[in-house]
Amino acid sequence: MPPSFADEHSPVEPYRIKVVEAISLLGREERERALERAGFNPFNLLSEEVYIDLLTDSGTSAMSDRQWAGLMVGDEAYAGSRNFLRFEATVRRLTGFPHVIPAHQGRAAEHLVLSLLAHPGDVVPNNMHFDTTRTHVQRVGAKPVDLAIPEAYDCENPHPFKGDMDTDRLTRLLDDRSAAVPLVMMTLTNNTGGGQPVSLANLREVSRIAHARGIPLYLDMCRWAENAYFIRTREPGMSQRSVREIGRECFDLADGATMSAKKDGLVNIGGFVATRDAKLAARIKEELIVFEGFPTYGGLARRDLEAMAIGLEEASDERYLEHRTGQVRFLAGLLTASGVPIMAPPGGHGVYLDVRRFLPHLDARHLPGQALVVELYREGGIRAVEVGAIMFGDGEEVADQGLELVRLAIPRRVYTESHLRYVASVVRHVWERRDSVRGFTMVEAPEHLRHFTARFAPSAD
């Protein structure tokens, strides 16, 4: 028997490495200077200043030899490129959605769908909106509402599908205000809540509730393959079905989807909208021409469409997914063994540190998530991201509710077991001296999506 990837063994890579990129760890003083220059915001650090980059799993994947070869067969015709046809056929085959509209990344797809479907005063329910989705709903004057199940907000609860939506709350919302709900969204997996999957049972129920009132269901399908893999491995009765079959049932329950292929499309740039709604597709294409480009390239080089078609298939390969989710579980296991508090169970694309239990001496006012992110870089050159009050608080006010997490996102096919062991030991060192970690204040912030560019300073008290 080959070693199982699912036990205590570390996951064995289902690939070998053909190209490498040098990385190095700056000295402690240089890291300190880099932090000050960056206003203590990791988004302002230079890549060269980072040793292990866990800022995001988005657009940071290593492409395969097949994808790189795909770039060489780019048919760069403005209209009617054969790469578009292949891309369109792949998305149709995987999702069953007939209308496929490329876009340069996920938020462009969100912009196209939400600016056409949502209106001022509307309400858009989602299990949990990701920051860009939330912003696009707000920009049209509508209100984003998160309806995740209560377990999603409890880091210690081992519920296998914390991405599920609270269907009682959805029913109540639709009973009260269905005329104001232009679409229901479901984010697979729930990134904001820890990369937690949505069960097929829940998706069926959400689809039934929305469709009973004639409201369309759209999936934010960025991490659809990881979600389908969790359905296969965690949901009763699903283990004999393939990931693609499960994925296809998820899409069959919906009316359309927005996609950032920078995640489960294994590309560095790319995305799309897919829908059954021919009228909406026609309107989207009109907008697309204004904002992204002609419908057979949508803001991308045609070779990018080829890489995306190949990547979508590779991302739904079961050996790949076993390793991918195994890496996350492996890092989570090392951290848990050291007593480090994390969002349980580990999700699909990263390990999320539970900041409230990590730094209980810092209250929300002291931006503990940011303090932890700074400390991880200071300790070992690791770049992580706060997913909490700064990312989701509105305006200047810092939310004192919801989840307070620091995400260690794992790029796809990029880091090895020894990198993950290094990450675990850096986190452990910070954990061991957690009482010494001081708080931060925000000194500069834009109105929207402030975590990207805000600047911070150590707090005085």
Which residues of the shown chain bind ligand F0G in the complex (CB under 6 A)?
A: 56, 58, 105-107, 130, 132-133, 187, 191, 220, 222, 260, 262, 271
In the bound state with ligand F0G, the residue whose beta carbon lies nearer, of 200 and 222, is 222
Q: In the 3-class helix/strand/coil scheme, how is the chain assigned residue by residue? A: CCCCCCCCCCCCCCCCCCCCCCCCCCCHHHHHHHHHHCCCCHHHCCHHHCCEECCCCCCCCCCCHHHHHHHCCCCCCCCCCHHHHHHHHHHHHHHCCCEEEEECCHHHHHHHHHHHHCCCCCEEEECCCCHHHHHHHHHCCCEEEECECHHHHCCCCCCCCCCCECHHHHHHHHHHHHHHCCCEEEECCECCCCCECCCHHHHHHHHHHHHHCCCCEEEECCCHHHHHHHHHHHCCCCCCCCHHHHHHHHHHCCCEEEEECCCCCCCCCCEEEEECCHHHHHHHHHHHHHHCCCCCCCCCCHHHHHHHHHHHHHHCCHHHHHHHHHHHHHHHHHHHHCCCCECCCCCCCEEEEEHHHHCCCCCHHHCHHHHHHHHHHHHHCEECEEECHHHHCCCCCCCCCCCCEEEEECCCCCCCHHHHHHHHHHHHHHHHCHHHCCCEEEEECCCCCHHHCCEEEECCC
Nearer to ligand F0G, 10 or 187 (CB): 187
Q: Which is nearer to ligand F0G, 10 or 327 (CB)?
A: 327
Residue nearest ligand F0G by beta-carbon distance = 106
Q: How far is the CB of 108 from ligand F0G (least distance, A)?
A: 7
Decide whether 162 or 434 has the Cβ nearer to ligand F0G.
162
Pick between residue 131 and residue 437 the one whose CB is nearest to ligand F0G. Answer: 131
Residue 146 Cβ vs ligand F0G, minimum distance, rounded to whole Å? 13
CB of 451 to ligand F0G, least distance (A): 10
Shortest Cβ 64–ligand F0G spacing (Å): 20
**In the complex, least distance from residue 57 CB atom to ligand F0G, rounded to whole angstroms:** 7
Question: Measured from the CB atom, is 218 or 330 closer to ligand F0G?
Answer: 218
> Closest distance between ligand F0G and the C-beta of residue 363, in Å?
26
Nearer to ligand F0G, 388 or 439 (CB): 388
Nearer CB in complex with ligand F0G: 371/409: 409
**Minimum CB separation from ligand F0G for residue 448, in Å?**
14
Query: 266 is written with which tokens?
Result: 């294994």
CB of 224 to ligand F0G, least distance (A): 10
Q: For residues 63 and 68, what is the distance between their CA atoms, to the nearest angstrom?
A: 7
> Considering the complex, what minimum distance in angstroms separates the CB of residue 277 from ligand F0G?
20
Nearer to ligand F0G, 195 or 439 (CB): 195
How far apart are alpha carbons 203 and 104 in whole angstroms?
27
